[in-house]
Amino acid sequence: MVADLFPARALRASLLPAAAIGLFPLAALAAALAAPEVAALRHRGPVPLAANHLITLGWATTIAVGVLDQLLPAAAGVRREPTRRPGLRLAVHLGGLAAMVVGFVQGAHQTVAAGGLVVAGGLALFLVDAAAVLRRRTRTLPVLPFVAGALACLAATVTWGVILAENRRHLFLLALVGPMGLATHVVLGMIGWFGLLVVGMSYYLVPRFAGLREPRELHPAAVGVGLAASVVLTVAGVATWSALARAGVLLAGASGLLYAVDLLRLVRAWPPRPPDLTRVHWIIMIVETVVLSAGAAAWALGLLPGAGVRWGVAAVVLFLLGWVTLAITGQTFKVTPFLMWYYRYHRGLRAYEIPRLEAPYWPRGGGAILAVLAAGPPLIAAGVLLARPPVAALGGALFALGATGIGALLAYSWLPAAWAGRNLRPPTEAG
């Protein structure tokens, strides 16, 4: 049935994003189960560790890799036909991730380490493919330095994660068991991989969404250099001198505030009509960018009261479940496969009717789903800061509900038509 909906080429191109959207409700449910434990600062327990890697590797990284498979060659001006490599990489990636999750839940360090090695192998295949595209580039758009930096940080994050897993198994360096090892992993993954990638892609995509051909008064170079330098300073400071780490975090906060100003300019220039759910995503992201950036700067300057670990855990929650997730879900409303599955195969519209809709980027029920999805992470973060597991549990339940709504809307909405035997391939439209 799926083969009837899309040709093999289209399936290969959308395989990873589709898998990520399909798995998102499962990852969100794990996050909901982990939320009370995270609020109790048991964030290094079995369930929170499993949930964290389902979110970062199963949800965010899978879809990011799938999007880069399509956008990186376009941005680099490299023609590349879809191959069977994405399917192989996906199978390896999800197989390794499944082993990691089982290992975390069972406390089996050997299983976690083995799964981590498999995940690293799958991502290494992707990095080799991406490096080949970058080497053959025929143009260098401003987004490419961001992507190159993000890919370097992805490689470093995965390598460091394998080292941490092997260290938990063999305990060859006691210092890595403490905050130093985890902090390095978090900084490389959050600011380096996800931060650089989302920021770089937004400077590339948001002006196009807003209909701006040549946006002015933006600061992509300053923001990119600031984020990259903050990663280097923070990682170096974690291992050597705390003042250096604080300087890195302060620089990340300052870069984030500058980025928020740029986003505000873009969103203000984005016409509010017809209604566009992606625009609302970016409005919420501006608020979260300011909160996260101001919080980072305040921590670096020693202005935050209470235990620093609570602020750090709350920031990770808001960043991964809020900022990164909204950046991803917002873009899915612009991705052709999901528009086709929802409008053409769920609602039965012909292809030529979709762009003529008054608001093709505001699916029925999308606003309510966004409201629930966006409300969850701040509540979990508040539960962490207030040491109130019930508040975090409520936030986790809302987040899981919103993720299930996203999955139903963009991944599963066409399945009832398939089960009912409805003809999912409307007649070919003339013109």
3-state SS, one letter per residue, for 193-216: HHHHHHHHHHHHHHHHHCCCCCCC
pLDDT at 348: 78
Q: Would you kindly state where each structural domain of the chain is located, as residue ranges?
A: 2-419
Q: By the 8 A CB rule, do 407 and 379 touch?
A: no
Which two structure tokens, joined as six digits, stand for 91?
């199978």
- Is residue 429 scored above 50 in pLDDT? no
Average pLDDT over residues 339-359: 77
Q: Minimal CA–CA distance to 147: which of 184, 190, 188, 192?
A: 192
Q: How far is 134 from 144, CA to CA, in rounded Å?
A: 8
- Angle formed at CA 349 by CA 345 and CA 352, multiple of 5 degrees: 120
pLDDT at 391: 98
pLDDT at 342: 80
Which two structure tokens, joined as six digits, stand for 310?
């609570």
Q: What's the fold here for domain 2-419?
A: Cytochrome C Oxidase; Chain A (1.20.210)
- The position carrying tokens 């998102």 is 24
The CA distances from residue 427 to 308, 343, 348, 430, in Å, are 61, 15, 11, 9
- The position carrying tokens 């939320």 is 35
Average pLDDT over residues 316-339: 90
Average pLDDT over residues 235-251: 90
pLDDT at 341: 76
Burial letters for 326-357: b for 16+ Cβ neighbours within 10 Å, e otherwise? bbbbbbbbbbebbbbbbbbbbbebeeeebeee
* Between residues 170 and 388, the one the model is more confident about: 388
Q: How far is 390 from 102, CA to CA, in rounded Å?
A: 26
pLDDT at 424: 53
Q: How far is 406 from 410, CA to CA, in rounded Å?
A: 6
Q: Which are the contacts of 328, defined by CB distance < 8 A and separation ≥ 6?
A: 59, 60, 63, 64
- Is residue 82 scored above 60 in pLDDT? no
pLDDT at 353: 79
End-to-end Cα spacing for the chain: 26
pLDDT at 28: 97
pLDDT in tens, 109-158: 899 999 999 999 999 999 998 999 999 888 888 889 999 999 999 999 99
- Is residue 223 scored above 90 in pLDDT? yes
* Sign of the torsion angle spanned by Cα atoms 303, 306, 311, 314: negative
User: Which amino acid, 124?
Assistant: A
Mean pLDDT of the residues in the chain: 88
* Between residues 207 and 347, the one the model is more confident about: 207
The CA distances from residue 97 to 27, 348, 388, in Å, are 12, 36, 30
Q: How far is 234 from 240, CA to CA, in rounded Å?
A: 10
Which two structure tokens, joined as six digits, stand for 60?
């965010």
Q: How far is 305 from 307, CA to CA, in rounded Å?
A: 7
Q: Which are the contacts of 371, defined by CB distance < 8 A and separation ≥ 6?
A: 402
* Between residues 354 and 383, the one the model is more confident about: 383
pLDDT at 334: 82
- Is residue 6 scored above 80 in pLDDT? no
